[in-house]
Chains A and B, each alone.
Chain A
Amino acid sequence: MTALLPLTEAVAELIADGDTVALEGFTHLIPFAAGHEIIRQRRRDLTLVRMTPDVVYDQLIGAGCARRLVFSWGGNPGVGSLHRFRDAVENGWPSAVDIEEHSHAGMANRYVAGASGLPFAVLRGYAGTDLARHTGTIKPIDCPFTGETLAAVPALRPDVTVVHAQRADRDGNVQLWGITGVQKEAVLAARRSLVTVEEVVDELRPRPGATVLPSWVVTAVAHCPGGAHPSYAHGFYERDNDYYLAWDAVSRDREAFTAWLSQRLGVAPASERSERARQHSSAANASAERSEAGP
């Protein structure tokens, strides 16, 4: 039975320090509110997994939540670089982040293997590139039938996958539509899952094919309207492009970023945290984020 929980409780119960966590969403339905709650609850040493780490991962990395990043493309879509990600990789600020780098095709197949209960996936990928020289989780494999050399990549099995969706019912059946990315595979590959949703209804109106996740594969649902902002939720709201553009300036500068962290999420920078700051905890700030118009 899926638990219907407030976001603060869902994050507290499902995500622990040191976990491997995937927040998925391909431009559409990115679980920003859940990411911000992870920052507020000061999770540490996370292995963050995601095909397209964008602004929410820039924020998690800058806030010092990440120890490791497993990804295939890291940027601010349509704008430019992720400067907190670059600062961590290039300069180790606020702490060094190890990277495990793949291609989209490789990551997508790793989730498929995880969702399928297989140890690895096989694809025609990475050929002739330098990726396999630096990423230990890409290995050549010969087809036992044709002898063709292909690429093998291990299954991704996150401890927790977090996705955002349009709608769930009180039992935790989830409807999600539009660009569906790799969310279904990422949830099925994970040991635990949290789905934040725009709305919770008593009963889902039958829409053939719309229920992509039945309740029995979802650990928790959190009602979180606007939870994908500044990304978008098809049928609910558009992408807040101003936020992505404005993020470039915020993320370029460590001081501007720490001011953002403090003002918007009520979180002191990693280096200045005190017990007092820790007591100034998530509860007081839980509602602050949702009313935000921009970064």
Chain B
Amino acid sequence: MSHTTEEMMTIAAARALPDGATCFVGIGLPSTAANLARHTHAPELVLIYESGTIGAKPARLPLSIGDGILAETADAVVSVPEIFNYWLQAGRIDIGFLGAAQIDRFGNINTTVIGADYQRPTVRLPGAGGAPEIAASSKEAIVVLRQSKRSFVDRVDFVTSAGFGTGPGFRQRHGLRGAGPTTVITDLGVYAPDPATSELVLTRLHPDVTVEQAKAACGWELSVPRDPARTPPPSEAELAALRALKPSPKAAS
């Protein structure tokens, strides 16, 4: 079965979630991938949304962070102060699963403003939401986003959620408890921080993507292994599960 680059990205992101993990899920791509994981290899994945739904098991994709289907299928529904204080801040979340408008070489995420001047931005983005604390307090963060020179930048215009800050030692200095963004998945490949420099490096290319394509869609001098590993292509079962999950535009409205 042929597949799109978007489908490969979503399936690669789903595969990064181990069965049984507790996963604090952002809306959009992370939510799609987390639900796909639950419908494929990780039926016991615990999905937690910032609207206060714990252990949501929706049959279709939620259309927003507070979709009623999340509450109806959850093990527990708690208030927003509770979800952030008791569940996230206390260190009960294994994986913070986030999207991003921009990410930089040190895994810092920007969803606030594009442009150097915060007061007079070129583009005003939605803002932080739950992301700063999700990225800080989860045991690790996984980030999924489409890759281009505009989204993969040398330095984000605004650090909404800290990754590795300015490099090694930053997280410890700022009291950030989790391991930070351990995996970044795009439509081209998979990236991980270099243990020595904390800089994101290519670890795997998706099928049919070249090193040159990955470099051309990256705003810094990308470090790549001599012979990068390849993401196994989507299986028939994964594609079928994803397509069954994904509402058609008509169904979404």
Q: Which A residues are within 8 Å of any B CB, using their own CB?
A: 26-28, 51-52, 71-75, 77-78, 81-82, 85-86, 89-90, 101-105, 108-109, 111-112, 123-131, 134, 148-149, 178-182, 184-185, 232, 234, 238-239, 241-242, 245
Query: Which listed residue, B68, B121, B129, B160, touches A90 by the CB 8 Å rule?
Result: B121
Q: Which residue of B lies closest to A90 (CB)?
A: B124
Instruction: Indicate if B211 sits at the interface (CB-CB under 8 A).
Output: no
Min CB gap B82→A, angstroms: 9
Assess the A77–B64 pair: CB atoms within 8 A.
Answer: yes
Binary flags per residue of B26-69, CB closer than 8 Å to A gives 1, else 0: 01000000000000000000000011110000000001111110
Known: A77-B65, A127-B136, A127-B175. Contact between A103 and B89, CB under 8 A? no
Assess the A131–B132 pair: CB atoms within 8 A.
Answer: yes
Q: What CA separation (Å) do A104 and B66 show in the bound complex? A: 14
Q: Which residue of B lies closest to A73 (CB)?
A: B129
Known: A124-B89, A124-B136. Contact between A104 and B50, CB under 8 A? yes
Residues on the A chain within 8 Å of B125, using CB:
81
Assess the B84–A108 pair: CB atoms within 8 A.
Answer: yes
Q: What CA separation (Å) do A123 and B133 show in the bound complex? A: 10
Assess the B127–A74 pair: CB atoms within 8 A.
Answer: yes
Instruction: Indicate if B128 sits at the interface (CB-CB under 8 A).
Output: yes
Q: What CA separation (Å) do A151 and B222 show in the bound complex? A: 35
Interface residues on chain B, number (Cβ under 8 Å): 54
Known: A128-B165, A131-B132, A131-B160. Contact between A178 and B71, CB under 8 A? yes
Q: What CA separation (Å) do A156 and B235 show in the bound complex? A: 51
Assess the B133–A124 pair: CB atoms within 8 A.
Answer: yes
The 4 closest A-B pairs by CB, nearest first: A27-B66, A128-B162, A73-B129, A75-B126
Min CB gap A131→B, angstroms: 6
A/B interface sample: 9 pairs, CB < 8 A: A27-B66, A103-B128, A104-B133, A127-B136, A128-B174, A129-B161, A134-B118, A148-B175, A241-B63
Known: A27-B66, A78-B27, A178-B71. Contact between A128 and B136, CB under 8 A? yes
Q: Which residue of A lies closest to B79 (CB)?
A: A180
Known: A130-B159, A134-B118, A242-B253. Contact between A182 and B137, CB under 8 A? no
Known: A128-B159, A129-B160, A182-B79. Contact between A101 and B112, CB under 8 A? yes
Binary flags per residue of B197-213, CB closer than 8 Å to A gives 1, else 0: 00000000000000000
Assess the B81–A182 pair: CB atoms within 8 A.
Answer: yes
Assess the A125–B132 pair: CB atoms within 8 A.
Answer: yes
Query: Which listed residue, B127, B132, B158, touches A126 by the CB 8 Å rule?
Result: B132
Known: A26-B52, A130-B159, A234-B71. Contact between A105 and B133, CB under 8 A? yes
Q: What CA separation (Å) do A184 and B81 show in the bound complex? A: 10
Residues on the B chain within 8 Å of A28, using CB:
51, 66, 68, 71
Q: Which B residues are within 8 Å of any A CB, using their own CB?
A: 27, 50-53, 63-68, 70-71, 77-81, 84-85, 88-89, 112, 118, 120-133, 136-137, 158-162, 165, 170-171, 174-177, 252-253
Residues on the A chain within 8 Å of B122, using CB:
90
Assess the A112–B81 pair: CB atoms within 8 A.
Answer: yes
Query: Which listed residue, B68, B118, B159, B165, touches A232 by the CB 8 Å rule?
Result: B68
Min CB gap A174→B, angstroms: 15
Q: Which residue of A lies closest to B77 (CB)?
A: A179
Residues on the A chain within 8 Å of B78, using CB:
180
Q: What CA separation (Å) do A29 and B106 show in the bound complex? A: 39
Q: What CA separation (Å) do A72 and B129 show in the bound complex? A: 5
Q: Which residue of B lies closest to A98 (CB)?
A: B119
Q: What CA separation (Å) do A72 and B80 show in the bound complex? A: 13
Assess the A71–B132 pair: CB atoms within 8 A.
Answer: no
Query: Which listed residue, A78, A89, A182, touches B80 by the CB 8 Å rule?
Result: A182
Q: What CA separation (Å) do A178 and B175 show in the bound complex? A: 35
Known: A28-B68, A125-B133. Contact between A77 and B79, CB under 8 A? no
Assess the B63–A129 pair: CB atoms within 8 A.
Answer: no
Assess the B132–A103 pair: CB atoms within 8 A.
Answer: yes
> Which among B84, B120, B136, B159 has the highest number of chain A CB atoms within 10 Å?
B84
Query: Which listed residue, B66, B130, B159, B176, touches A103 by the CB 8 Å rule?
Result: B130
Known: A77-B66, A124-B137, A179-B52. Contact between A26 and B77, CB under 8 A? no
Assess the B81–A77 pair: CB atoms within 8 A.
Answer: no
Assess the B162–A127 pair: CB atoms within 8 A.
Answer: yes
> Which among A77, A127, A178 has the highest number of chain B CB atoms within 10 Å?
A127
Query: Which listed residue, A71, A179, A245, touches B66 by the CB 8 Å rule?
Result: A179
Assess the A180–B52 pair: CB atoms within 8 A.
Answer: yes
Q: What CA separation (Å) do A102 and B126 show in the bound complex? A: 11
Q: What CA separation (Å) do A129 and B157 show in the bound complex? A: 12
